[in-house]
Amino acid sequence: MGEVFYLYGIVIAEFLFELCVFCFLFFRKLKRARGFWWKLPLSLAALFALGLPVAWFYTAFGETVWGRTLVYLVLFAAVILFSVWCFSEKFFKVLFCCTLAYAAQNLVYKVFLLFWTGGEAFRLFDGWGNLFDLWYRLVYYSFFAVCAAAVYFLYVRGMEEKLQSCDLDSRMLAITVVVLGITVLLCSFEDVYFARLSVGRENRFDEPVYVVLRQTGNAFSAVCCVIAFLLASKTVVARELSREVEHLKYAIRQSELQYRISKDTIDLINVKCHDIRYKLNMLSAQGAPRLGDLAETVSIYDSRIETGSPLLNVLFTEKSLFCEQNRIELSCMIDGGKLSFIEEGDLYCLFGNLLDNALEAVKDIEDEGRRVIDIVVKAKDGLLLVQEENYFDGPLAFEDGLPVTTKGDRDYHGFGMRSIRLIARKYGGELSAFAKGDVFHLNIIFSGFGRENE
């Protein structure tokens, strides 16, 4: 029984502790289940209690490859089960995070073995004497703490936000799990057979060829864990891009619908305003008093902005009404004919988002003289340039070359700028944005326009 408790302490409990540390890092920002704070201690207690019969099994069958593999798979399955209970997330996401945690634990362990086996080959630890076990544990836990911090700052921190919102691709998840499964099997094989080849203590060999083989196996396992991380990152990024494309397609469909509605509405308003202005002129001719203000008000709605593109005429006319109500000066010099290569839905979505972002920035500026938006579209030197400038108040931060929204829901409100860039790239263009003083500048450059088009 003493051997069971000894192996429980130095193998099972240690493995569970390390795995739970990485699970905590990957699950830190995911949605917790109701009653999380009482489920968590119960789960941990049950998990470490399960380790006792597993430790007994380890003493009986841990010297075989299948026995050791089964031990770690059972413990891993238990961690998944309790994670599903504690977190209100889809099973695939829980499995995904547990797989990443297992990969991180295994990576740290294998990197430590690379260091330790090398040290044993050069007899660096021979002077520890009776305090060998104590010094080994101190070195190992210090190494683990440093590596865990490195994994967090180099990998986990960049994945946290993405893991919250992503829906996973089951095929990529399956590949990740398979890679990790192969790693676990190889690790069990190496640990069992190299333990039999060790002299004096584990991972110490008399034959240099055994050292080379052991280090090769450690390096291969570490590389497999890194591959699992890369596959996981690719899964998350692919799902994020797919989500953006779905949002973009939806936005384009809505833009096409909005364009038709806006065109019909503005045409109707213009017809009615024309009739009203005709009747006002008739009343003025008949000597009706004080109709000048009313005529001026009606003329506002009877105006149109000419851009050379029927679609942009509708869009800018619609936005000009908002500008008039909010005392915003909208200046545009647009050669809309040069934009005919862009599909109507994309064009409406691109300039609609561009205008909405600019209007959002200037509408609350106290100084009405700074409520100015300037938009230029022109062809020059084989390039088509779309330039937008507007004033803004307050700090403006940039991330991945785009301004970061100041609103709470970054996933939703930050989509406008991303959609502008996606549409630009769809037609071979590139977007750049920067702030200079209190003026925001946005430039889109489309290449491939000859001088004959200028």
Domain membership of residue 336 (yes or no) is yes
Mean pLDDT of 323-331: 87
Per-residue pLDDT of 257-281, as tens digits, reads: 566 655 666 665 666 666 666 566 6
pLDDT on residue 10: 85
Domain membership of residue 341 (yes or no) is yes
Q: Note whether 445 and 317 are same-domain residues.
A: yes
Domain membership of residue 401 (yes or no) is yes
Q: Note whether 234 and 314 are same-domain residues.
A: no
Lowest mean pLDDT among 247-251, 307-311, 415-419: 247-251
Q: Note whether 314 and 230 are same-domain residues.
A: no
pLDDT on residue 19: 94
Q: Mean pLDDT score of the chain, rounded to an integer?
A: 82
Domain membership of residue 270 (yes or no) is no
Q: Note whether 239 and 379 are same-domain residues.
A: no
Q: How many CA atoms lie within 13 A of 360 on its CB side?
A: 13
Q: Check pLDDT > 60 for residue 217.
A: yes
> At 222, which amino acid appears?
A
Q: Note whether 155 and 245 are same-domain residues.
A: yes
Q: Note whether 244 and 311 are same-domain residues.
A: no
Q: Note whether 200 and 74 are same-domain residues.
A: yes
Per-residue pLDDT of 330-364, as tens digits, reads: 988 898 888 989 988 788 888 988 998 899 889 98
Q: Note whether 184 and 47 are same-domain residues.
A: yes
pLDDT on residue 452: 45
Lowest mean pLDDT among 28-37, 220-229, 232-241, 349-358: 232-241
Q: Which residue's entry shows tokens 């630890």?
A: 125
225 Cα distance to chain centroid: 21
Which residue, of 249, 271, 289, is where some domain finishes? 249
pLDDT on residue 168: 61
Q: Note whether 94 and 169 are same-domain residues.
A: yes
pLDDT on residue 353: 87
Domain membership of residue 383 (yes or no) is yes
Mean pLDDT of 125-148: 91
Which residues are 388's β-sheet partners?
375, 442
pLDDT on residue 238: 73
Calpha distance 47→74 (Å, rounded): 11
Per-residue pLDDT of 91-123, as tens digits, reads: 888 888 888 899 899 999 999 999 999 999 998
Domain membership of residue 298 (yes or no) is no
Lowest mean pLDDT among 175-189, 210-224, 349-363: 175-189
pTM, rounded to two decimals = 0.63
Which residue, of 230, 249, 268, is where some domain finishes? 249
Helices (H) then strands (E): counts for the chain: 14, 7
Q: Note whether 215 and 311 are same-domain residues.
A: no
pLDDT on residue 145: 95
Q: Note whether 191 and 82 are same-domain residues.
A: yes
| Number of domains within the chain | 2
Is 441 in a helix, a strand, or coil?
strand
Q: Note whether 230 and 324 are same-domain residues.
A: no
DSSP string, 163-214: HHH----HHHHHHHHHHHHHHHHHHHHHHHHHHHH-SSSTT--SSHHHHHHH
Q: Check pLDDT > 50 for residue 409.
A: no
In this structure, what CATH number is given to the domain that contains residue 404? Answer: 3.30.565.10
Calpha distance 128→135 (Å, rounded): 7
Q: Which residue has the higher pLDDT, 62 or 163?
A: 62
Enclosing domain of residue 402: 305-453
pLDDT on residue 274: 60
> What distances in angstroms separate CA 425 from CA 154, 188, 298, 315, 372, one per listed residue?
30, 48, 41, 22, 27
Per-residue pLDDT of 371-404, as tens digits, reads: 999 999 998 888 899 999 999 988 888 888 888 7
Which residue, of 201, 223, 249, is where some domain finishes? 249
Domain membership of residue 446 (yes or no) is yes
Domain membership of residue 256 (yes or no) is no
Q: How many CB atoms lie within 10 A of CB 152?
A: 18
Highest mean pLDDT, choosing among 46-55, 221-230, 272-281: 46-55
